[in-house]
Amino acid sequence: MEKIVIAIDGYSGCGKSTTAKFVAKALEYVYIDSGAMYRAVTLYFVKHYINLTNPKQIEQALEKIELAFITRPESNDCDMFLNGINVSKNIREMYVTQKVSEVSAIPQVRTAMVAQQRKMGKRKGVVMDGRDIGTVVFPDAELKIFMTADLKVRAARRQIELLERDQLVNFDTIKENLSKRDRLDTTREVGPLTQAPDAHLIDTTHLTIGEQVEEVLNLATGVMITEDLKHKTSP
């Protein structure tokens, strides 16, 4: 079968990453969590006291950042390495989560991340989730998904996720953080979160992860069959 690019965008806490991971595993595709890249940059900026209003400092910091994903084949989970160090846990800490939308709104940061993401998807066979994957990173992706869900449901899911990582965070704090990130992510000037006109909308409020995965896999199968036919019938 022809390999395709699957772009999954949407609000925080809709189950994008979990769905993307399972879909990639089922199709034997590479999974790329673009949010983890923005989180790693944020971690670096916080640790090195980078002034977010100083373009020169930002440029110099970006030159010193090397990001890499290493996938654990048994789960298709990918670890995020920042300058050779596994920062997968650190990038999920609340202090990073609270700063990441501000950092990811910086145009220089977006330019650097988009360039790396495009390189990662060049050979197709990837599932990438984020905010601007179907609109900016891969506007020609064969399959685009846009996920949404009720804010309270998203906050509850996030709270459980954090508890599983031994982080007890107040429900209202999570809800406010999600709502603030929604606002910042949708209103920033470069690469704002928005549904691409050709993206399939999936509201996950009442869906289980299994149902979300099934829906995306059904869509992917349809697209792959069409692409295969196109390929076979083209002169």
Q: Which residues bind ligand DC (CB under 6 A)?
A: 12, 34-35, 38-39, 100-101, 104, 130-133, 181, 185
Minimum CB distance to ligand DC, residue 112 (Å): 12
Comparing CB distances to ligand DC, the nearer of 135 and 224 is 135
Contact present, 34 and 42 (Cβ < 8 Å): no
Contacts of 173 (CB under 8 A, 6+ apart): none
| Residue whose CB is less far from ligand DC, 212 or 224 | 212
Nearer to ligand DC, 42 or 224 (CB): 42
Q: Give pairs for 23-29: CB < 8 Å, separation 24+.
A: 23/127, 23/213, 23/216, 23/217, 23/220, 24/76, 24/126, 24/127, 25/75, 25/76, 26/213, 26/217, 27/125, 27/127, 27/217, 27/220, 28/125, 29/3, 29/125, 29/126, 29/127
Nearer to ligand DC, 193 or 224 (CB): 193
**What are the DSSP calls for 219-230, one per residue?**
HHHHHHHHHHHH
Minimum CB distance to ligand DC smaller for 104 or for 212: 104
Minimum separation from the CB atom of position 169 to ligand DC (A): 14
Q: Nearest approach, Cβ of 51 to ligand DC (angstroms)?
A: 20
Taking the complex as a whole, the smallest distance from the CB of residue 78 to ligand DC amounts, in Å, to 12
| Shortest Å distance, C-beta 11 to ligand DC | 9
